Chain A
Amino acid sequence: MPKTLAEKVYDAHVVRSTAGEPDLLYIDLHLVHEVTSPQAFDGLRAAGRPVRRPDLTMATEDHNVPTLDVLAPIADPVSRAQVEALRRNAAEFGIRLAPMGDRDQGIVHVIGPQLGLTQPGLTIVCGDSHTSTHGAFGALAFGIGTSEVEHVLATQTLPQYRPKQMAVTVEGELPEGVSAKDVILAVIARIGTNGAAGHVIEYRGSAIRALSMEARMTICNMSIEAGARAGMIAPDETTFAYLQGRPHAPQGADWDAAVGYWRTLHTDEGAAFDTEVVLDAAELAPFVTWGTNPGQGLPITGRVPDPADLADDNERRAAEQALAYMGLTPGTPLREIEVDTVFLGSCTNGRIEDLRTAAELLRGKRIDANTRMLVVPGSIGVKQQAEAEGLDRVFTEAGAEWRGAGCSMCLGMNPDQLKPGERSASTSNRNFQGRQGKGGRTHLVSPSVAAATALTGRLTAPADLEMAGV
């Protein structure tokens, strides 16, 4: 029977399947960070259980880490205690940890691919919803809660129900200035924040195949913002080229065996999807969000919508609540919205290509005098690469702040936060109320819109810069 990509990977990991029970799925790679793991390790200790496969487990410090003075002890005692708990647990259970300052440290979803641990056909989990990022390699990768983290640590498996299958097909060529971030924001605006509930999304079509690995990661990263259990893209030459030579990628005869298998990982002709969504790449434009969930987005040429135009009670109420929180008036052109802060970073857009794109627009220019811009590389590896290319100087000469690696203002667990009422243009993935700091207002944007916005102090597409005389 023809199978989808997701079905192939799922079926290859079923340890046990019995009618009336969830399947038991084997997990190839378990990524761990400090926030969602302490209670799981406590559970193991209480039951006297070891970690079954420390060699398939990797931990990093990312959510709490400061991006200034990264080698000094963390000032916030509660954050410090959480990071120290991870260090103790990693040492006690024999797990590899990339601590602050380590060359492999970074956001969990940035370092997996960077180290070559993320590979096609794997099952990958992490106590973090953006684990969907790793699906860009054709892995089945999904976020789990702390009880499940404990379960994987103890057994290297997870009880799972077979997901439904959704195809999101984007055909054609993306217009100039339109990036992977705009594609995924458009997808979420179309299907809604929980529109893919119960599904694995496979992104397909010529526009997806033309994307770089990093752009594919941006797309898969935000699958969870559409409610999907995972997002996947079939591996191809782009994938293999990205992986070859990375520290944990197979080598020699192993590489050939691996590539031979990876080439089988695509949806078969005639395989059935439960749901299909089709987008025309040529019709996409730079997207920004106006509301408080990632589905509340529009092309940047649009205006703040009027809730009164929405027929559905729940949607209208949600839009009213969002506009009240965001301090926006219906009908305002999105391009007139002024921001205080621009955040470039996160597991969505904190990779080297994202930094290059933004730096290109900022080179030789100064950002708006009333706007601050934080540039936070996704990992130490990305930071070093950017510095080797001189991007740090481009940012600082433009007036932006060049910071250490971590999650930073994506969720403000460290000191990088918006103040109440402050407004940001952010390349992260969530514009939830208070996500970037209590009372903070977030507009999700692509790296190029972030850079253009930093230059003008208002939501701006790169194409608008000339008009604005910048």
Chain B
Amino acid sequence: MQPFTTHTGTAAPLRRSAVDTDQIIPAEYLKRITRTGFEDGLFVAWRTNEPDFVLNQPQYADATVLVAGPDFGTGSSREHACWALLDGGFRVVISSRFADIFKNNSTKSGLLTVVLPQADVEALWQAVEADPATPVTVDLGARTVSYGDTTVPFEVDEYTRWRLLEGLDDVGLTERHLGDIEAFEDRRPAWLPKALPALPAG
């Protein structure tokens, strides 16, 4: 995973709430079996059908920070939603509330999700609508979002922050605890279900 320390870029104001994963990337774009190349599906319905959709506006075309309404990423567990945002050039999504699975996936794929109070989101919307060239800096080390004269703090748990700063992948970290896993397996009752072998229908 790509480490995340600090990022500065311009921001796109996405004034929509409950942006679900089917809007971020529809199912037909999930058929690829690679981990990259999902930018063509990113918000494709809105990009196609709504000429004034924020990402169709040239002043926001190069944005790397997405500032969305509440409840971003509801719906499916598709990590493709994070990959599509990354492939589409975004490194950070800011919202007052994320869906759990989306947030989880983001921390595994190196996309930073930043939770800010809705009032801070509104202020950021206004700032980048007034001047789309406003640089926005997201500093994971300091846990702050800054633009113009404004700096607002955000919360992120220490463990996730450390993993993102270091770009560590979870599997390697868990493998350090193989002994604990084996000990747990020794304690599991024998009657717990197994998928193998296949048994005849009852």
Contacts and interface: CB of A to CB of B under 8 A. Distances in A.
B175 interface: yes
Nearest to B97: A194
Interface in A205-251: 224, 227, 229, 245-250
B16 A317 contact: yes
A299 interface: no
Contacts of A143: 76-77, 101
Nearest to B180: A16
Contacts of A304: none
A145 B105 contact: yes
Contacts of B197: 96
Chain B at the A interface: SS class: loop
Interface string B34-53: 11000000000100000000
Contacts of A194: 18, 70-71, 74, 97, 99
B202 A116 contact: yes
A129 B21 CA distance: 11
A165 interface: no
Contact of B196 (A96, A127, A315): A96
Given A145-B101, A318-B17, A432-B20, A49 B45 contact: no
Contacts of B16: 317-318, 321
B58 interface: no
- Name the residue in B118, B191, B201 with the highest tally of chain A Cβ atoms < 10 Å from its Cβ: B191
Contacts of A250: 191, 193
Interface string A162-204: 0000000000000000000000000000001110011000000
Interface in A1-50: 15-16, 20-22, 24, 26, 28-29, 35-36, 38-39, 42-43, 47, 49
A119 interface: yes
A434 B22 contact: yes
A147 B27 CA distance: 18
Interface stretch (A56-64, A332-340, A388-396, A446-454): A56-64
Contact of A127 (B31, B71, B77, B177): B77
A82 B28 CA distance: 12
A127 B78 CA distance: 8
Given A147-B109, A193-B71, A413-B30, A254 B200 contact: no
Given A16-B177, A38-B33, A412-B27, A117 B195 contact: yes
Interface string B160-202: 0000000001110111010011001100111111111111111
B100 interface: yes
A104 B76 CA distance: 24
Interface residues of B, number: 67
B23 A432 contact: yes
Interface string B80-115: 101000000000000001111100110011000000
A463 interface: no
Contact of A49 (B74, B76, B118, B171): B171
Contacts of A248: 193-195, 199
Given A35-B30, A143-B77, A145-B105, 19 more contacts: A26-B181, A26-B188, A29-B195, A55-B194, A81-B31, A104-B198, A115-B199, A116-B202, A117-B195, A119-B192, A144-B77, A151-B171, A159-B174, A194-B70, A194-B99, A249-B193, A412-B27, A430-B75, A434-B22
19 contacts: A15-B177, A15-B180, A15-B181, A24-B181, A55-B195, A78-B32, A81-B33, A96-B195, A96-B197, A143-B77, A144-B77, A147-B108, A157-B181, A227-B71, A247-B200, A250-B191, A254-B190, A314-B69, A430-B22
Interface of B: 15-18, 20, 22-23, 26-28, 30-35, 45, 69-71, 74-80, 82, 97-101, 104-105, 108-109, 118, 157-159, 169-171, 173-175, 177, 180-181, 184-185, 188-202
Interface of A: 15-16, 20-22, 24, 26, 28-29, 35-36, 38-39, 42-43, 47, 49, 54-58, 63-64, 76, 78-79, 81-82, 85, 95-96, 103-104, 115-117, 119, 122, 127-129, 131, 143-148, 150-151, 154-157, 159, 161, 192-194, 197-198, 224, 227, 229, 245-250, 254-255, 257-258, 261, 293, 295, 314-315, 317-318, 321, 381, 411-413, 430, 432-435, 438
Lowest 7 A-B CB distances belong to which pairs? Answer: A147-B108, A145-B79, A145-B105, A38-B33, A254-B191, A247-B199, A58-B195
